[in-house]
Structures are given as C-alpha cells and as structure tokens.
C-alpha cells in the first residue's frame, strides 16, 4: 500500500488491543494473558500501553512495577465492589475513559 507524503496516520491501541487476529478472546479480562512473558508490549508488537519502538515511554518499567505494588497493597487490605450494577462503558477519543465515574465501595478485609 502506498501512502502519500504528509498523510496523517493514526494508530489506535484501543483497536489493536481488541483485534481478533492478534488475540484469543480479545475482549475478555485475562490478567494472566502475559504470565511468564517478559515485556509483552515490546515482544509481540500488538500491545502498546507505553507506545513502542525507539519512542517507548522511558517510565514504562517503573509504572508497571508501581502499579503492581499499589494494586497488591490495595487488594490485600480491601474488597472492592461497584455501588451500581450499571455497566461502565469505555468512551474513546484520543484516550480512553469511562462513560461515567464509577463509584466503588471498599470494605476492609481484616
């Protein structure tokens, strides 16, 4: 495919992350999808949470480690439930956000 000079090209991680040709059960929540695989965003080219190639986010490794530690600490101390049964739907523009602000109930576990 030829692309004319000065043509804008948009790459949508939202679409790539849910493409049936790239993923088994692309819309399923599967936290263990990358278990045992180092840095899936750089090794398979279909997961772009921090961009890719020479312009990959320099904070990618730190943010992944930080997110795992914070999540582990929260899950150890609290049980989370949504206050409403109404589904939270994604709205996608340049970034992805929920269609409404979900309200959570936190109950101490211990």
Token digits for 103? 């309200």
In this predicted structure, the answer to whether residue 5 has a pLDDT above a threshold of 90 is yes
pLDDT in tens, 21-49: 888 898 888 888 878 777 665 566 788 87
3-state secondary structure of 16: helix
pLDDT in tens, 49-108: 787 778 888 998 899 899 999 999 999 999 999 999 999 998 887 778 899 999 999 999
């Amino acid at each position: 495919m030829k692309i004319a000079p000065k043509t804008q090209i948009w790459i949508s991680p939202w679409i790539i992350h849910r493409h049936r040709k790239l993923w088994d059960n692309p819309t399923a929540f599967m936290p263990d999808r990358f278990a045992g695989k180092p840095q899936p965003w750089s090794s398979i080219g279909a997961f772009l949470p921090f961009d890719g190639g020479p312009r990959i986010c320099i904070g990618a490794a730190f943010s992944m480690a930080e997110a795992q530690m914070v999540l582990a600490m929260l899950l150890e101390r609290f049980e989370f439930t949504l206050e409403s049964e109404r589904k939270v739907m994604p709205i996608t523009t340049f970034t992805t956000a929920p269609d409404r602000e979900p309200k959570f109930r936190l109950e101490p576990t211990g």
